[in-house]
Structure 1
Amino acid sequence: MGGKAVQRTGRRALASRLSSVLSLWGAGFRSPGTVFAALPRRGEPAIGAAAVLTRFVVTDLLETVPQAMLGRRPFTPTTLPITPDRHYRVQALYLPAFGMAQWVLMGCVAQGVLRLSGERSELARVLDAIGVGMLIPMPALWASDTLMLATDTYRLPGLAVTHSLVQLWEAGLFTVGLHAALGVPWRPAVMAGAAAGAVYVPGGARFIR
């Protein structure tokens, strides 16, 4: 009985966390500041982690896996030791782990900028704000990328335009998130948000197609 009770509790907690993550999208479009202000003030960055995992798993399902099934090759060569015909099959396996690693790196960079600016901040709270900021814009990008895949236009320069716009949107959300969730003044929040956004670019350019 005890084991079954633990399983039920775990399922309820997972369902509650998933519901919280899904609700971020609608609220994040309408009032991102309100969403960030409502993030937990203590504990592990569970919401941020769930948001990032959702982002990259859904990206895999909508973009990477279909391209792997269609046998497509990357639109530009990569420096990874993966043959072009196998790239998307391999990317489908490592993309969620890549996303989680990038999230931690971005959070640490943002935390470092805040500390250098003289602001006191807790890494877990920074990670929550960064994670939520990484998820909110994704429905728009998924729709754009899916349309490009369907029309066989999933390549440069179109991708450079849409993904650059989302990067700017994310950096803005990071700024709002750090200000609303941690009470950081706007100036250091802008610097930390921009730094976190910039950190993602080299990794994304190297590992994702």
Structure 2
Amino acid sequence: MIRTAEDLLQELLAVDESQRIEAKRASQIDRSVMETVVAFSNEPGLGGGYLLLGVERDPDDLFGTSYRVVGLTDPDKLQSDLASQCASMLNRPVRPRIAVETLRGKPVLVIWVPELAPAEKPIFLTKLGLPRGAFRRVGSTDQESSEDDLMALYAGQQVDAFDGAVLPDTDLHDIDAAAVQEYRRLRERANPSAEELGWDDPERSALRCGMAPSCARP
């Protein structure tokens, strides 16, 4: 479930901006906003992040860690502009979740940007191209990607098919014995000399887990 504006503001006041939360005054959807969208979409393992528009650092705070709610004059237009730019300014569409809320009596936007699947990365601003248009989330900042960053993002596209992936934390207790027996019967019908028919039970069960025989656990 998407977090509330009040929840995000309280975290900002407690620990400042972080890898997963960015606050912006945002009188318009400018390049700064879109860079953060791209960074949240790209950063491996982050899981996405939140933009809170209509909130800024308090200029009267000497330590620069406090925030104030300034609100938005036209939140409906801003959310429309954001959705439009996320669909047209990037190399592939990004679909953030956008909510208009009232915070301290003023309208703000809460935007949840999900991390995209590895096969969909890198996301980048088409006007800037690669590598300049691709950003990563480093701490509380949006950083232009280097060539090494792009290699890491592209590497994520090399994923195994679902039926060829190794299942983590799997052991023999997860295997349906009846399913194993049925597999043996069908496999023997298809190929009586199949190598796996000569394996012992742990090795046969490992086949069902998607593990190599040497990975089977007693």
Q: Same fold (TM over 0.5)?
A: no
- Which one has a larger percent helix, Structure 1 or Structure 2? 1
- Which one has a larger percent strand, Structure 1 or Structure 2? 2
Q: Structure 1 length as normaliser, TM-score? A: 0.21
Find the structure with the greater CA-based Rg.
2
Q: Structure 2 length as normaliser, TM-score? A: 0.21
Q: Which has the higher contact order (CA 8 A, sep 6+)?
A: 1
